[in-house]
Amino acid sequence: MIRSIRAEWLKIRRSRIVPVLAVLPVVSLLVGCINFYFNRTVLQNGWYSLWTQVSLFYGEFFLPVLIAICCAFVCRLEHNNRNWNMVLTSPLSVTSLFAAKLFIVGALILAAQTFFVLMYGASGRLFALPGGFPMEIVAWSLRGWFASLSIASLQLGLSIRIRSFAAPIGIGLCAVFLGLGMYVLKIGMLFPHSLLTIGMGVLSQKGLTPAENGAFLFMNGLFVLLFAVWSIRRMKNEDVVSS
């Protein structure tokens, strides 16, 4: 398993993924901060108001698409030059291959989330917002990261199956809207993309009760497992398409 993760890391270490990971949080934060600055008279809730401005588009639209890009990215090399044949004939189980890819995507998204929260903290200080940095934000970001894993599990399955780089990202974007609809219908716990909205406190900063937190963690775990089993079974039982 560790060797699989090392191999995945080796594949992406010179791929210049960092600018892709950094650009969206930076743009989201900049526009959110500009909007916050010009509407400070209306946005009176300090750190929380700033969070609503910077996280709305990032958490709702761009983070799911960023996850989809990362998943397509870690499968890109395998789809080129008949590399799937090479990978699947190596002495490596498909479970550890999938788990290693999921681990790498999880690490990349964790880096993006950390960067986003650090920039949020810095901009809050720059605006001299009253009170200290709210620790709920760290919890929301971690919950958002956990929800990202279930989206990543789904997207990885799609990216392994579909050779095109862009098609799984398009499907992921459609899923964003489905997730938004399910969140509005208050059945958000049943879909990974809505879980991200709930976890990151993007549309509601109410916070979750301990029972809701439990349900949130359980559903995420279930989705990660479900999509992982789906992908691993498919890789075990069906032939790969390579050219």
Q: Is 120 in the site for another protein (CB under 8 A)?
A: no
Amino acid letter, residue 196:
L
State the number of binding residues for another protein (CB under 8 A).
39
Rounded to an integer, what distance in angstroms lies between the CA atom of residue 176 and that of residue 188? 12
Q: Which of 94, 99, 142, 173 binds another protein (CB under 8 A)?
A: 173
Contact flag: residue 31 with another protein (CB under 8 A)? yes
Q: Is 185 in the site for another protein (CB under 8 A)?
A: no
Count of positions (residues) in the chain: 243
Interface characters, 43-72, with another protein (x: CB under 8 A): --------------x---xx--xx--x--x
Q: Is 217 in the site for another protein (CB under 8 A)?
A: no
Structure tokens at 193: 């993309």
By beta-carbon proximity to another protein, the closer residue of 32 and 144 is 32
Structure tokens, 12: 């992406």
Q: What is the closest distance, in whole angstroms, from the C-beta atom of residue 69 to another protein in the complex?
A: 5
**Smallest gap from residue 225 Cβ to another protein (A):** 27
CB 19 within 8 A of CB 114: no
152 and 71 Cβ atoms separated by less than 8 Å: yes
Q: Tell me which long-range contacts 81-89 makes (C-beta under 8 A, separation of at least 24).
A: 82/242, 82/243, 83/242, 84/240, 84/241, 84/242, 85/240, 85/242, 88/235, 88/240
Which of 11, 35, 110, 138 is in the footprint of another protein by CB under 8 A? 35
Say how many CA atoms lie within 13 Å of 79 toward its Cβ: 16
Q: Give me the residues that bind another protein (CB under 8 A), please.
A: 15-17, 19-20, 23-24, 27-28, 31, 34-35, 38, 57, 61-62, 65-66, 69, 72-73, 76, 79-80, 163-167, 169-171, 173-174, 177-178, 180-181, 243
